[in-house]
Structure 1
């Protein structure tokens, strides 16, 4: 990674484990100072200590990203540094269910983290990058963003917002010297997936995802991870004719229909 263009600090939202921590380690290895934000304070500080051991500065902050004041909380550790790279990796969905049966807090949290959060952070840090005439923004999404899915209504809608927002920012920010990339994450062997009991033996590793994203930051607006099969699925899910038939056939399956570990 080009530290002169994207440094000296990288801010990683959702950075305590999995893909987020993989981003942090790879960027620290390239000499970037790292600010990591997530909910769990223990893993965050452990990661920050590890990064300091790699010879860079590191800051960590525990924040509930569903709180609409999250951007103001994060600014307490970033207002005195120059963030040249924003990676917004938060946005997992732990509670699934039919939309009309959900506790409203469930879908509000998804919207606050993935829609409001990405917009607020991209706006604030993008504006600072515009003043400097350089920088990069990576917004993480999901391969489910190309069509709706039962028990994932808000999640798939929020990920669709993320992709369309990124595509718009990519074109707006290009003349400002800011590279913008949306990563459509496919099946990845993250701790979150492991905790849910999924069989991740054929999944991408977080390190592979992070490296592919960093290698393609200047090749936006969209990077579909997961190889040719993931690309083919995204194309199929994007068809405009016979949407109903397509959604029935290709939507992300209900959780009980996803293979679990033996």
Structure 2
């Protein structure tokens, strides 16, 4: 990763475990100074201690990304430094259910983190990068953003916003020297997925996802992680013909069917 272009500081939002932690480790190895943001302080401090032990300079911010004042909280730790890279990696979903039956705070949290959070952080740090004429922004998304899925209405809609928003931001920022990338992630072996009981042995490693994001930051606006089946599925579910049939046939499977869905995608690729 080009430290001169994207440094000296990298801000990793959702940076305590999984893909976020993988981003942090790779960036630290390339000499970046890091600000790590996540809700739980214990994993943040553990990762920070690990990276400091390798010689990295690390600041941590424990903050709830669903709160309206989260950007102000993070700015308190970054206004005195130059952030040349923003990685907004937060946005996993841990609650499924019919939209009209889920508590409002559940769906509002999904929207706050995935829509308002991405937009507000990209606006603030992107403006500073544009002023300097260099920098990079990676906003992580999901294959779920190509298709509305029952019991995941707010989540899939928010991920769709992320992709379209990034495409527009990329077009605006490219002539101004700032690289913007929507990193489209499929089934990944994160601790969050493991806590939900997902069969992570069939999933992509977080390190692979993070590495592809960093290596392709200049290849925006969208990069689909090269896990077998990801690109094929994106093509399959993004067509405009007969959306009713597509949604019924290819919605995100319930958690207890995830393993079989992963096997089905593998078979699709191997044909």
TM range (shorter): over 0.9
Q: By how many angstroms is 1:259 displaced?
A: 3.1
| Structure 2 counterpart SS, 1:101 | coil
Match of 2:106 in 1: 106
Q: Are positions 1:227 and 2:237 aligned together?
A: no
| Structure 2 counterpart SS, 1:220 | coil
Match of 1:164 in 2: 164
CA contact (8 A) 1:10 1:86 kept: yes
Alignment of 1:5-154 (within 5 A): 5-154=5-154
Match of 1:189 in 2: 189
| Structure 1 counterpart SS, 2:253 | coil
Give 5+ residue unaligned stretches, structure 1: none
In structure 2, how many angstroms separate the alpha carbons of the residues matched to 1:44 and 1:204? 23
Task: Tell me the TM-score normalized by structure 1.
Answer: 0.97
- 1:9-40: CA deviations, max 9, x gaps? 00000000000000000000000000000000
| Structure 1 counterpart SS, 2:31 | coil
- 1:182-231: CA deviations, max 9, x gaps? 01110111101111111122211000100011000000000111435111
Give 5+ residue unaligned stretches, structure 2: 261-271
CA contact (8 A) 2:198 2:255 kept: no
In structure 2, how many angstroms separate the alpha carbons of the residues matched to 1:53 and 1:199? 32
CA contact (8 A) 1:167 1:222 kept: yes
| Structure 2 counterpart SS, 1:78 | coil
In structure 1, how many angstroms separate the alpha carbons of the residues matched to 2:221 and 2:209? 16
Q: By how many angstroms is 1:4 displaced?
A: 0.4
CA contact (8 A) 1:187 1:226 kept: no
Alignment of 1:208-227 (within 5 A): 208-227=208-227
CA contact (8 A) 1:150 1:253 kept: no
Deviates more, 1:98-107 or 1:227-236: 227-236
Task: Tell me the TM-score normalized by structure 2.
Answer: 0.94
Where in structure 1 do 4 or more consecutive aligned residues deviate above 6 Å?
Answer: none
| Structure 1 counterpart SS, 2:129 | helix
- 1:23-66: CA deviations, max 9, x gaps? 00000000000000000001101111111112121000100000
